[in-house]
Structure 1
Amino acid sequence: MDHNQTTGAAGESYPSTRRIQRLSGHLSPSEHVHPSIPPQLRLQACARVNLEVDTEKLSVYMRGKHRELQDKVYEYFNSKPELQTPLEISKDDHRELCMRQLLGLVREGGIRPFRHVFDDPGKYFALLEAIGSVDMSLGIKMGVQYSLWGGSVINLGTKRHRDKYFDAIDSVEYPGCFAMTELHHGSNVQGLQTVAKFDPLTDEFVIDTPNDGAIKWWIGNAAVHGKFATVFARLILPTHDARGTTDMGVHAFIVPIRDMKTHQTLPGIEIQDCGHKIGLNGVDNGALRFCSVRIPRENLLNRFGDVSRDGKYTSSLPTINKRFAATLGELVGGRVGLAYSSVGVLKIAVTVAIRYSLLRQQFGPPKQPEVSILDYQSHQHKLMPMLASTYAFHFATLHLVEKYSEMKKTHDDQLVSDVHALSAGLKAYITSYTAKSLSACREACGGHGYAAVNRFGSLRNDHDIFQTFEGDNTVLLQQVAADLLKQYKEKFQGGTLAVTWNYLRESMNTYLSQPNPVTARWEGEDHLRDPKFQLDAFRYRTSRLLQSAAVRLKKHTKTLGSFGAWNRCLNHLLTLGETHIESVILAKFIEAVQRCPDPSTQAALKLVCDLYALERIWKDIGTYRNVDYMAPNKAKAIHKLTEYLSFLVRNVARELVDAFDLPDHVTRAPIAMKSDAYSHYTQYVGF
């Protein structure tokens, strides 16, 4: 677009008075509508952008090719009342129900998720979202069985492991665990203390827990149902020199933990129950201790490192660090699944909160009917940017799944690195946002949000751990920052940049140049809603943070060392990781808008995308003002336009949440029923 047409000649600092007045009309609809007009009529009087949202077309574009597969899951559980999780259920009963749900889905429902883990990850993650919507505990239990236990066997093992275990894992004949986390070590996987010593006399590995800190902890499927575990342990080989042994680093081993027929715990293995948790009590988390547990040499998952009969170690990768990185690189599917599933949780919460906010009426002009609470600007401010973020996250995680699927097919080294950092960042950012939003949605529904039947409590409690497992969010954001700094360094040494970060290569110098004093004052609506302006603003912020972080780290390393310097700059680095992920999310949202083939659907998505972008800019407006990237008049215009866009999104909020296409028997909250919500609610309590 030609900015001169919007704001006057490029040499002018401010637009004309007439333009200001016209823009004021766009940004402040309430200022020229009489305050006594009820908000319902105000919507009609002010909505110059009269969007017609075709919910079905938007839903098809959103859910795409996996819609039927998800509907199959929904219908299966809707047809099985005995498999639906009741509101009040004990820990032990929930665990048994969760296992029956998984077995029923696989053996009766004809859903075989394990095959999709490798053949079509997009289908697997779509199934995971749908199953988690039915019961989050079931989604996690499925993830443990197929993504973690099954995925580790197939991804870290070789043909012999696939031939022996695949079918039995697929049918849940071999329920298993993923025993990585220890009491003393979680995120620092290289610091794990469990050991696996090779005994050349018997051709076996001997698994031992050397101290209480090395007890495997929070192991899903361990307390009740698991028969096997993938155990991560330090591989210790005997040597013929003075040392006696050598530590080859962390490897993965298949360890049977219960008898296949009697289900009794096997000798040398101690299993304890981790007990009642804040949420996800359908998952049987346990603690495992090993005392001289012997397993065949073939139980080493040997894709990246193997031990021969005579105790010699071979690997295609030259160092412990490279083998460790390759091992963890094969396990990023868990992070991808959590990011994707977290968006599913957010969709349910936003749907419940918005539907109730449209239904609930409170106060209004004197002697006029009460108005919907979603007509209040404060409520729009709370929920509409959240709705926009839900759409943004949806398209960002679809992109992540596509990249992950491509990585699994090609095994391209650059893609592996790319997906590792991207999955870390999106998992951290989205799960943190969703956790905060669940509380905001509960509050938006007032006292009725506190009723357990309306689900906010269970959603909040079940989802909360998403911020911790598969990588603590603070640690994951540091991984993103570290990757950015690595790419930044390579850029100035003539190296290539990863695909995800290529905007730094293409226009880093542009983003770091002195802000243009003319464009810093542009405040026209066309300019502020231009995707190029929005994306440039996001990337400018990331580029400045990256450059300043590099300078600070170099300075502090001289006196504090690398670890001390990193710790001194830690909050700066976390902010860098977050802003970069926001840039990626916005870029993928803009691409999704531009790809949309239906004009009316595209217009609706463009509106939501603009709200996401401008609300994020406004929330960090101090950063832009401090470096004169935006003048005061532009900052004020962004604030007013953000409020106006929230107002416009409110007009189509019902259609936007309906496009998530969640049946009433999936959302389940009485206050969110598509019709007769109060009737459902009163019937629930006995009227």
Structure 2
Amino acid sequence: LANAYALHFGLQYLTKRFMHRSEDDMQEIEALAAGMKAYATWNTRDTLQECREACGGKGYLSENRIGNLKADTEIYTTFEGDNTVLMQLTAKNRLGEFRKQFGEMNVSTIFNYVLGQAKTAISEKNPFATRNTDESHLKDAQFHLDAFTYREKEITASAARRFKKLVDDGLDTFDAANVMHPHMLQIADAYLDRVFLEQFSAAISETDDEALKEVLTKLYNLFALNKIEEHKGWYLEQGYMEGVKTKAVRKLVSQLCWEIRQDAVPLVDAFKIPESCLAPIITTKSAEA
């Protein structure tokens, strides 16, 4: 559910970017659209599988249509663009932007880049920050954005260094890109995670209804912390977090799932999905009540 809302706000952002596009924006918009298509269809596949298993054996019955939905949507992981290829396209765009950024650097911009790296080391990778398990900190939007941005920048910079080394060692660019295939997927994934996070946060900021804002904030926290938990191995390897902190994140994810369950049905109803598209899925509102 948290992923669905993040995708919704992210796709709204993409639509606005496209409607107000300029010629200079088109490459980034195309890369963003490619990545979001892959991200969304993989999420659909995984969500349906989780729903099927949550319904037990009855989830496999044809009358409940989950199996049919799985069959209908599975094709989209390769239809209208193979997801893996689309993610590579997104990653190549990000590497291109990274190269352009450094190509245009002068002494001042290089100094600012190094200064930014130093600030990150001091403010985000100090012993207190890497072990901070305070709930207010773990729910802090700035902590989420810093963590997502750090992952995106580090993976992109690491890939750029690796790509250059492969080419310097004699590989042509095509073969180097193939060798780096897993790394390329990580670049795109980290970039998309950050975009969805930012758009989710922006949507909450634009909400005037305080009750709605409170519910959406819980959902946003769940999206952010679940992603951090998903990539906790990477954060631990980088020294960005210590085990005590990732353990606290895991506990908070479980707590948020419990808190959000009472609002789950209204949050789903907000999508205004026609009843004809819902019946007769086993999890009816009467059963949930």
* Same fold by TM-score greater than 0.5: yes
Structural mapping, 1:474-493, within 5 Å: 474-493=84-103
- Choose which of 272, 282, 289 in structure 2 pairs with 1:671: 282
* Cα separation, 1, equivalents of 2:171 and 2:102: 24
Q: RCO (CA 8 Å, sep 6+): is it higher in 1 or 2?
A: 2
* Cα separation, 1, equivalents of 2:185 and 2:281: 39
Residue 633 of structure 1 pairs with residue 247 of structure 2: no
Matching residue of 2:71: 461
* Cα separation, 1, equivalents of 2:41 and 2:230: 19
- Choose which of 184, 190, 198 in structure 2 pairs with 1:587: 198
Q: Is the 8 A contact 2:167 2:176 kept in 1?
A: yes
Structural mapping, 1:506-545, within 5 Å: 510=116, 513-514=120-121, 515-545=125-155
Q: Is the 8 A contact 1:511 1:540 kept in 2?
A: no
Matching residue of 2:49: 439
Distance 1:508 1:645, change over 3 A: farther
2:74 aligned partner, one-letter code: D
Matching residue of 1:394: 8
1:538 aligned partner, one-letter code: F
Structural mapping, 1:122-201, within 5 Å: none
Deviation of 1:672 after TM superposition, in Å, equals 3.8
2:9 aligned partner, one-letter code: F
Deviation of 1:663 after TM superposition, in Å, equals 3.3
Distance 1:508 1:456, change over 3 A: farther
Distance 1:520 1:667, change over 3 A: same
Deviation of 1:511 after TM superposition, in Å, equals 5.7
Matching residue of 2:108: none
Matching residue of 2:185: 574
User: After superposition, what is the alpha-carbon deviation per residue over 1:303-325, rounded to whole angstroms, capped at 9, x for unaligned?
Assistant: xxxxxxxxxxxxxxxxxxxxxxx
Deviation of 1:618 after TM superposition, in Å, equals 0.6
Unaligned runs of 5+ in 2: 106-111
Identity of aligned residues (%): 37
Structural mapping, 1:416-427, within 5 Å: 416-427=26-37
Judging by fraction of residues, say which structure has more helix: 2
* Cα separation, 1, equivalents of 2:114 and 2:34: 23
* Cα separation, 1, equivalents of 2:228 and 2:115: 21
Deviation of 1:489 after TM superposition, in Å, equals 0.8
Distance 1:478 1:600, change over 3 A: same
Structure 1 SS opposite 2:172: helix
Q: Which has the larger radius of gyration?
A: 1
Deviation of 1:666 after TM superposition, in Å, equals 2.2
- Choose which of 257, 262, 266 in structure 2 pairs with 1:651: 262
1:553 aligned partner, one-letter code: F
TM-score, normalised to structure 1, is 0.39
* Cα separation, 2, equivalents of 1:621 and 1:675: 38
* Cα separation, 2, equivalents of 1:452 and 1:511: 55
Deviation of 1:537 after TM superposition, in Å, equals 0.4
User: After superposition, what is the alpha-carbon deviation per residue over 1:481-512, rounded to whole angstroms, capped at 9, x for unaligned?
Assistant: 111111111111227xxxxxxxxxx9796368
* Cα separation, 2, equivalents of 1:656 and 1:507: 41
Distance 1:507 1:401, change over 3 A: farther
Distance 1:461 1:490, change over 3 A: same
Structural mapping, 1:49-448, within 5 Å: 387-407=1-21, 412-448=22-58
Deviation of 1:517 after TM superposition, in Å, equals 2.5
Deviation of 1:590 after TM superposition, in Å, equals 0.6
Structure 1 SS opposite 2:182: helix
List structure 1 runs of 4+ shifted beyond 4 angstroms: 506-509
Matching residue of 1:606: 217
Q: Is the 8 A contact 1:422 1:480 kept in 2?
A: yes
2:2 aligned partner, one-letter code: A
User: After superposition, what is the alpha-carbon deviation per residue over 1:228-280, rounded to whole angstroms, capped at 9, x for unaligned?
Assistant: xxxxxxxxxxxxxxxxxxxxxxxxxxxxxxxxxxxxxxxxxxxxxxxxxxxxx
* Cα separation, 2, equivalents of 1:480 and 1:650: 34
Structure 1 SS opposite 2:224: helix
* Cα separation, 2, equivalents of 1:676 and 1:647: 18
Deviation of 1:405 after TM superposition, in Å, equals 1.8
Distance 1:509 1:461, change over 3 A: farther
* Cα separation, 1, equivalents of 2:117 and 2:70: 39
User: After superposition, what is the alpha-carbon deviation per residue over 1:164-203, rounded to whole angstroms, capped at 9, x for unaligned?
Assistant: xxxxxxxxxxxxxxxxxxxxxxxxxxxxxxxxxxxxxxxx
- Choose which of 260, 270, 273 in structure 2 pairs with 1:662: 273
* Cα separation, 1, equivalents of 2:179 and 2:149: 24
* Cα separation, 2, equivalents of 1:493 and 1:507: 13
Deviation of 1:469 after TM superposition, in Å, equals 2.0
Deviation of 1:391 after TM superposition, in Å, equals 1.0
* Cα separation, 1, equivalents of 2:17 and 2:237: 36
Distance 1:634 1:449, change over 3 A: same
Structure 2 SS opposite 1:492: helix
* Cα separation, 2, equivalents of 1:660 and 1:508: 45
User: After superposition, what is the alpha-carbon deviation per residue over 1:144-166, rounded to whole angstroms, capped at 9, x for unaligned?
Assistant: xxxxxxxxxxxxxxxxxxxxxxx
